Amino acid sequence: MRGQIQDIPAGQVFDFLHSRPEGLTPAEIAERLREVGPNAIETRRRHQWLGSLARQFTNFFTILLYIAASLCFVADRVQPGESMDILGLALLGVAVLNGLFGFIQEYRAERAMEELRKLLPQRVTAQRAGREETVAAEQLVPGDVLKIAEGDRIPADGRLIDCQDLVVNNAPLTGEARPVRLTAAPRGPHDNEAVNLLLAGCTVQQGRGTAVVYATGHRTEFGKIATLSQDVRRMISPLEREVASMVRILTAIAVITGIVFFVYGVFAGISPWTNMVFMIGIIVALVPEGLLPTLTLSLAMGSLRMARRNVLVKGLNAVEALGAVHVICTDKTGTLTLNQMTVTAVADPVAGADLAGAARAEALALALIASDVRRSRNSRTASGFSGDPLDVAVAEAHAKSGGAFDSVTDSIVHRFSFNVRKRRSAGIARRDGKVLFCVKGAWESLRPLIARIETPGESAPVAADETRLAQAEKIVHRLAAEGCRVLALAWIELETAPDAAAAQEFFERGLILKGFLGAEDPLRPEAPAAVARCHRAGIRVTLVTGDHPRTAEAIARKAGIVPAGADAAVLTGDDLDRLRKTELAERLGRGVHVFARTTPEQKWKIVSALHDLDQVVAMTGDGVNDAPALRAADVGIAMGRSGTDVAREAAQVILLDDNFASIVQGIEEGRAIFGNIRKFTDYVLASNGPEIVPYLVYMVLPVPLALTIIQILSIDLGTDIVPAIGLGQEKPDPDTMEQPPRDRRQRLLNWPLVIHSYLFLGVIEAGFAMFLFFWVLVQGGWSYGADLPAQDSLYRAATGITLSSIILMQIGNLYGRRSRFGTGIDRDAFRNPLIVAGIAIEIAFSWAVLYFPPVSDVLGTGPVEPAVYAAAWLGPLLIYGLDYGRKRIARTWHRAGAAPAFVMER
């Protein structure tokens, strides 16, 4: 339909759409609403939060906790008095808290999204049943006669039947910031754009018009792309894959170990129910119940830090996913640039030098005469000017040069609006007793009309011969190569003021070339430094835009995306159509940095080709056309200020300030979070060693159990939590953005970390804790093979010092995890309030389990001699010292490039 409706005259549009100039009747509107539905892109699902909540409580780890809790309740019914019911409640508590943390974060992000949903207008003006009415945008139907004016957002696709100086910004759909001047005339044979169509989601920058709606809701161009984006499956984030893998590995280790010792217990003659209790104990000891809540809390707190840096994350996994990015595919307008057209050059037509002083002010005054700009209270610009963005830029540049806006505009006696086919606009003004005709436009359209050229330093213009015109054309090409939109400026003095009905062509004879205006959307000042920082971090930045290839290349060079002196290797949308995905991946591998004139499907194709190269891809965008690629990317990044609702829905991350530099800050935060996750994972898993060893010793030797299940939980869900969260809040290392991005295949839980936490730190903690356990037993008169009741004071004292020593050793472990090769003891360690609080809790709890009855009674522990407790304080020094010695060896071997896994931490 779109192609047909563009080609017919305005007078036939009503018949084509079964409408009339006075508008539809209420009965017709009701019938069409029933047939095509409301003018809405997305019908919000009611009770959507229930689905989000359900997802948080049905992941693999949570289901595992449910099963473990159920077994605990069964064991408690069969064999009461073993505190299995408390264990079951604790496990359920972990599952509930973890689910709530994740749900609250998603809910917070959704609430923030609600504040950003302001794309489509709520009320619009339509002609219905012979009179103008203000109606809800959702109630528009095909055939409605729509009235639009400056500042309006277009609510549906429509064919213009009348307009006055109408200019729209189609960037939300096309990705190109260049304003489009519309007409009600049928499309000409050389018109490639929708020059007579209003497109939903775009904005009116100037003028007013009347159109007949021909598409609403999902049938609009806006809606088609929105539907396309919903069909794209979201990639699983790197962290989701890693956490799922880690949970499965740890669960498999725990379950297999538990089953092996259950079978051993059966052959050893231990009763089945006692055996099952100990199997659950082994599983609980090996599964770090506090790890997932710690991970969730760390990501949630990381999302808050990102929000303070103007980066809003919609899901917790996106916090870390930014840190894993290998490639950033960035849009140009508003992300790398300020999305604000500015006159950056006023060049003379001979040497191309930038005019200054009075000469610059005079040239800008002539350009202002040929512009259609005015002051407006409804202007969205800081200067208060309203009109075509390029004309506004001329007015602002004129004001900066010291010119008086009202003095120039009051002198204008006639304007000739911009003509799409002629590609120029003009005006006539009386200035200093003279009548001047001024024209500005594309050099190609003005060159045949130029008779003379102003030359700096000369009193009179010189003849425009081919040599001088060729020289002028070189200036045009130079400015265009710098990323400017170039306008030629010419004038001529008229003998008398013309009749208002005179044609523009009547005056366009023997024009004098004044110079050239170079206008551009300036690069954000911080963009080059941010791009350079990405390059140092091994992150590739690729520009993907709907703009002209020359403009795209110029911006890419200014931003540093294309290295100085290097070939830009620009690929256009036509090139992308010809290339197969394998060929595109090959070109990307060879270093293509710039894509211009791209469509939504092509952006999606770029992301898919990068995935074939095993790259983690971040895609930025603000328009509806960006939504499919945003959803296909590993990390979709939408703009908060300029972004469309569809783009923000498709993205995982929203830039609240639309600034590329904020992405880089988010990447640094994401990298720090992944490093911190590994730190606290190592920290938490280390305590699993001394938790499992007592059960293994108990199963194979005739000795008392050194640590009970409730005591294990006091570590996993008690003293370990706050220090682990503190590690999750550590600042990025100074060299975080000097390192290459981690390999996509790098595991969160790898062999070096497992060996270090279980077989190095865990063995040290287990050995020292068991030494103290048997020291207290032997000192109290226990003999090998003797059984001790759970309430025996000697047994309670021995288990108490075991628990206390493990808690204290985690203090030394905590400082060790702060740095991979360093001491970990510095000023920042004492500036992290969670680490300070965590150490205070561990110290207090290590004393309370021995000497504070309300705690010791619950945990089944008892007091020991002060000398024994003092000896337990050697534990933190022991584990810290041995680990620091390992670090020194690891650092030496790491520098030599020959560090074996067993000495590395991660």
Residue 567 annotated among the catalytic residues of the structure: no
Residue 639: burial class (beta carbons within 10 Å; 0-12, 13-18, 19+): buried
Q: Tokens 């009320």 belong to which residue?
A: 123
Compute CA distances 798 → 79, 525, 688, 777, whole Å.
Answer: 24, 65, 19, 6
The Cα 34–Cα 72 span in angstroms is: 57
Pairing verdict, β 412-419 and 450-453: unpaired
Instruction: Dump strand ranges (E) for 423-476.
Output: 424-431, 434-441, 450-453, 462-463
Instruction: Dump strand ranges (E) for 106-254.
Output: 123-128, 131-136, 145-149, 157-169, 180-181, 197-198, 203-215
The Cα 278–Cα 261 span in angstroms is: 9
Query: In one letter, which amino acid is 602?
Result: Q
Q: Which two tokens stand for residue 259?
A: 């089953």
Q: Note the helical H segments in 595-748.
A: 600-612, 627-632, 645-650, 660-686, 688-700, 709-714, 721-728
Pairing verdict, β 203-215 and 157-169: antiparallel
- Left if phi > 0, otherwise alpha if psi is -120 to 50, otherwise beta: which for 600? alpha
Are the CB atoms for 637 and 325 separated by under 8 Å?
no
Q: Tell me how crowded residue 52 is: count the other CB atoms within 10 A of its CB.
A: 15
The Cα 809–Cα 229 span in angstroms is: 52
What size, in residues, is the chain? 906
Long-range contacts of 831-838 (CB under 8 A, 24+ apart): 832/726, 832/729, 832/730, 833/726, 834/722, 834/723, 834/725, 834/726, 834/729, 835/723, 835/726, 835/727, 836/726, 837/722, 837/726, 838/719, 838/722, 838/723, 838/724, 838/725, 838/726, 838/814
Q: Which two tokens stand for residue 597?
A: 């004139």
Return the SS3 of 104.
helix
Q: Tell me how crowded residue 583 is: count the other CB atoms within 10 A of its CB.
A: 12
Are the CB atoms for 14 and 20 separated by under 8 Å?
yes
Compute CA distances 79 → 73, 207, 608, 796, whole Å.
Answer: 10, 83, 57, 21
- Left if phi > 0, otherwise alpha if psi is -120 to 50, otherwise beta: which for 151? left
Are the CB atoms for 367 and 396 separated by under 8 Å?
no
The Cα 416–Cα 781 span in angstroms is: 108
Long-range contacts of 119-127 (CB under 8 A, 24+ apart): 119/153, 119/201, 119/644, 119/645, 119/646, 120/41, 120/153, 120/155, 120/200, 120/201, 120/645, 121/152, 121/153, 121/155, 124/148, 124/152, 124/155, 126/23, 127/21, 127/22, 127/23, 127/210
The Cα 724–Cα 713 span in angstroms is: 15
- Give kind and range of the element (H or E) at residue 312: strand 311-313
Catalytic residue among 144, 152, 157, 331: 331
Q: Which two tokens stand for residue 460?
A: 């009179």
Q: What angle, 0 to 180 degrees and rounded to 10, lies between the N-to-C axes of helices 660-686 and 688-700? A: 20
Residue 736: burial class (beta carbons within 10 Å; 0-12, 13-18, 19+): middle
Q: Which two tokens stand for residue 891?
A: 């650092």
Q: What angle, 0 to 180 degrees and rounded to 10, lies between the N-to-C axes of helices 721-728 and 793-817? A: 0
Annotated catalytic residues are 331
